[in-house]
Chain A
Amino acid sequence: MADVITYRQAVAEGIAREMRRDPAVVCLGEDIGAAGGVFKTTAGLYEEFGSGRVWDTPISEQAIVGAAMGAAMTGMRPVAEIMFSDFLACCWDYLANEIPKVRYMTGGQVTVPLVVRTANGGGLGFGAQHSQATENWALTVPGLKIAAPATPADVIGMMAAAIRSDDPVVFFEHKGLLAAKGAPAPPDHVVELGRAAVVREGADVTLVALASMVPVALTAAERLAEEGIEAEVIDLRCLVPLDTRTVLDSLARTSRLVTVEENPYQGGWGGTLVSVVADEGFGLLDAPVRRVAAECVPLPFADALEEQVIPTVDKVVTKVRDLTAY
């Protein structure tokens, strides 16, 4: 086993492990076959498993996700790729109306064990229609589980959990992390959905982050440590199920909370998290909660403009510094 693995390799490795384990796992999506995916996140799958298990589709997002749903309802465990998360809007009916509701409105008759994978977020200069962090869209829909790993090992472990889940999972792979390297995952590595990870311990403030914002929060924490502020960093890993217990336990230690979100402030997951804290953990707080989130504008193209919109290490450091002085 290699000493390190990239996030993009982890995606393909995570899928491959499940395809080896379970013949019901099949993949479909645009350019995922011999091409290996536009982000090379399915590289090697076609060569190992062949055209009978890795299916190239037309540019037909409704057909991709609709067909995945039909297959999931009838005994398969499809893994569908929607190339960029912005394109989820093209098949939003399936994500908002069909997949998450069919179990409920049939009184539990139908199970939909599928995974919709998608490349999420900014940082690569793709402009407003290929750069959004859209995990908050899915968050508004009852019936979808939402995974957003930040490390290669978590990609593999959470992919295993997502594919084995009898519930539909939207799996956000962050474009800005694809080249990131990390420890490989041991054999049979499974990270249960809905378990946040404390990735840095600290006594002064809790930073809660997701996906690409985890390394931003960790870097900010290192900078803050130089000033004598010890931040605890939580990688939320999943939005549904939401691990509020880990957050409240951390708050009991630190008494201060900052959420770090790439999605826009309006409607972002941090709003849900801080409302739980306000409801159930108000007594744990010694200061107001703070949210660092994207501005409510489309993602601009130029780096200098994008930095104005999405959270940066500087923005997090400034917010935390202000809060600890409260």
Chain B
Amino acid sequence: MTHAPHLEASQLLALYEQMAVIRRTEKAAHDLFMSGLVKGTTHLAAGHEAIAVGASAALRDDDYVFATYRGHHHALARGATPEECLAELMSRATGLCGAKGGSMHLTKASRNMLGSYAIVGAHLPMAVGAAWSARLRGTEQIAVAFFGDGATNIGAFHEALNLAAVWKLPVLFVCENNLYMEYTPIADVTAVANPAADRAPAYGIPGEIVDGNDVVAVQEAVTRLAGRARAGDGPSLLEAQTYRHFGHSRADPATYRPAEEVERWLKHDPLDVARGRLAELGVPAETVTEADERATGLVQKAVEAAKNAPAPDPREALTDVWADGGAAWRT
């Protein structure tokens, strides 16, 4: 298949532009970290853009999304702005979570992007619960859990798959297999070749593999599997093969990765793949360049706005533990 017949050139261009915004936001996050304006750590998803953007294009706006600590791209794909995200990373009051979450916890609940979770694998059962809730309420929403290859060796992964399968829930598990469990090749610590897809048959659910650097392929696969979930046919598992452009976190230069492997994957950059598809659809190169320029301008503005935003009021440290807005543990 060379192109998706149901994706018009204009639609694909919009997806490309979203990916370009994410790529530039990640680069900005990296640069801000290196210049000391982002504290703690970051886990950048540059290279994974096609998964977040392709999947989001296949979902309804009210579907639920759960992500990992490497989740900037999912927050952005589901409606968070670069300014909100960068402000959060820079500990500003205007941050997505009021600077209480940070890079690993980007959440946009108003868009049903229900969080980024930094305990590996913990959010898979939550997605199962959201799917259960959707079924109980009869809404035809589905829930999607994005997770890394490393999460496939966590107990919660297996508990979530089994429960989703036996309750036949509308949930889609999307593994972003970037070949490395933090610093270690996933193949060195996993008993099967395809850490997610190979486990699906054990739970009696479909397990598919897709080129995670091809936004169209991801969009098609998620459209199909989400439709299956929405029709009441239960959960499925999609393993999207991809690659990190940066190291695991912070300033990890990822020197443990073979040069030829890095080169091979960088040649298969999701933005380049999308550009190729746009050319096939007859979109002029200058039109794509204009999209790139818009993305660059948007992120530059976001960086400046986030830099100029105020720090959070220190009193906010003692709010939001409880639903009444406070933190009191005594009556």
* Chain A residues proximal to chain B, CB less than 8 Å: 26, 52, 55, 57-58, 60, 62-63, 65-76, 78, 93-94, 97-98, 100, 102-111, 113, 142-143, 165-167, 194-195, 240-245, 276
Q: Does B37 contact A (CB under 8 A)?
A: no
CB distance from A167 to the nearest CB of B (A): 5
B100, B117, B163, B331: the one within 8 Å of A60 (CB): B163
Flag the segment in B102-110, B260-268, B289-297 that touches A: B102-110
What residue in chain B is nearest A243 (Cβ atoms)? B331
Residue of A nearest to B157 (CB): A62
What is the CA–CA distance of A118 and B108 in the complex, to the nearest angstrom? Answer: 32
A119 and B252 CA atoms in complex are apart in Å by 46
Tell me which residues across on chain A come within 8 A of B114, comparing CB atoms: 70, 73-74, 110
Set of chain A residues within 8 Å of B99, measured between Cβ atoms: 107
A94 touches B122 (CB 8 A): yes
Please give 16 more A-B residue pairs, beta carbons under 8 A apart, in addition to A67-B125, A106-B107, A108-B320.
Answer: A57-B163, A58-B166, A60-B159, A60-B162, A63-B125, A65-B125, A66-B122, A67-B126, A70-B127, A70-B131, A70-B143, A71-B130, A97-B119, A105-B102, A108-B325, A195-B331
Report B-chain residues with C-beta under 8 Å of the C-beta of A72.
Answer: 129
The answer to whether B329 touches A105, judged by C-beta atoms less than 8 angstroms apart, is no
CB within 8 Å for A67 and B132 given contacts A60-B159, A107-B97, A142-B327:
yes
Check if B132 sits within 8 Å of A109, measured CB to CB: no
Which residue on B lies nearest to A96, using beta carbons? B119
When distances are taken between beta carbons in the complex, the residues of chain B under 8 Å from A240 are 329
Contact A63-B160, Cβ < 8 Å, known A70-B127, A240-B329: yes
Are B126's CB and A103's CB within 8 A?
A: no
- Indicate whether B319 reaches chain A with its CB closer than 8 angstroms: yes
Complex interface: chain B residues within 8 A of A57 (CB): 163
Q: Beyond A68-B129, A105-B100, A106-B100, is A62–B155 a contact (Cβ under 8 Å)?
A: yes
CA distance A102 to B116 in the complex (A): 10
Q: Provide the residues of chain B in CB contact with A243, threshold 8 Å.
A: 330-331
The answer to whether A70 and B119 touch across the interface, beta carbons within 8 angstroms, is no
- Stretch of B2-10, B133-141, B191-199, B216-224 lying at the A interface: B133-141
Q: 21 interchain pairs (CB within 8 A)?
A: A52-B136, A60-B163, A63-B128, A66-B160, A67-B125, A67-B128, A67-B160, A68-B129, A70-B132, A71-B130, A74-B133, A75-B133, A98-B117, A104-B321, A105-B97, A106-B97, A110-B109, A240-B329, A243-B331, A245-B330, A245-B331
Q: How far is the CA of A174 from the CA of B321 in the complex (A)?
A: 27
Q: Looking at the complex, which one of A69, A70, A107 makes contact with B320 (CB distance below 8 Å)?
A: A107
**Nearest A residue to B110 by beta-carbon distance?**
A109
Q: How far is the CB of B109 from chain A (nearest CB, A)?
A: 4
Whether B129 contacts A107 by the Cβ 8 Å rule is no
B328 at the interface (CB under 8 A from A): yes
A181 to B108, CA, bound (A): 48
Q: How many residues of B contact A (CB 8 A)?
A: 54
CA–CA, A98 and B120, complex, Å: 11
B322 at the interface (CB under 8 A from A): yes
- Name the B residues within 8 Å of A107 (CB-CB): 95-101, 107, 320
Chain A residues with Cβ under 8 A from B160's Cβ?
A: 62-63, 66-67
Residues of B within 8 A of A93 (CB): 119, 122, 156
Residues of A within 8 A of B126 (CB): 66-67, 69-70, 73, 98
- When C-beta atoms are compared, the residue in chain A nearest to B100 turns out to be A107
Cβ distance B191 to chain A, nearest Cβ, rounded Å: 21
Complex CA gap A24/B177 in Å reads 37
B124 sits at the interface (CB 8 A)? yes
Q: B162 — which chain A residues lie within 8 A by C-beta?
A: 58, 60, 63
Contact between B136 and A76, CB atoms less than 8 A apart: yes
Q: Is the CB of B325 within 8 A of A62?
A: no
Q: How far is the CA of A143 from the CA of B126 in the complex (A)?
A: 18
**Contact indicator B323/A166 (Cβ below 8 Å):** yes
Residue picked from A65, A66, A245, most chain B C-beta under 10 Å: A66
- Whether B100 and A78, one on each chain, are in contact in the complex, defined by CB atoms closer than 8 angstroms, is no
**A179 to nearest B CB, angstroms?**
31
Contact assessment for B64 and A74 in the assembled complex, using a CB-CB cutoff below 8 Å:
yes
Any A CB within 8 A of the CB of B115: yes
B167 at interface, CB cutoff 8 A = yes
Cβ-defined contact, A105 with B105, below 8 A: yes
Determine the chain A residues whose CB is within 8 A of the CB of B101 once the complex forms. Answer: 105-107
Chain A residues within an 8 Å CB radius of B321:
100, 103-104, 142-143
* Residues in A neighbouring B109, C-beta threshold 8 A: 106, 109-110
Q: A242 touches which one: B66, B117, B124, B329 (CB < 8 A)?
A: B329
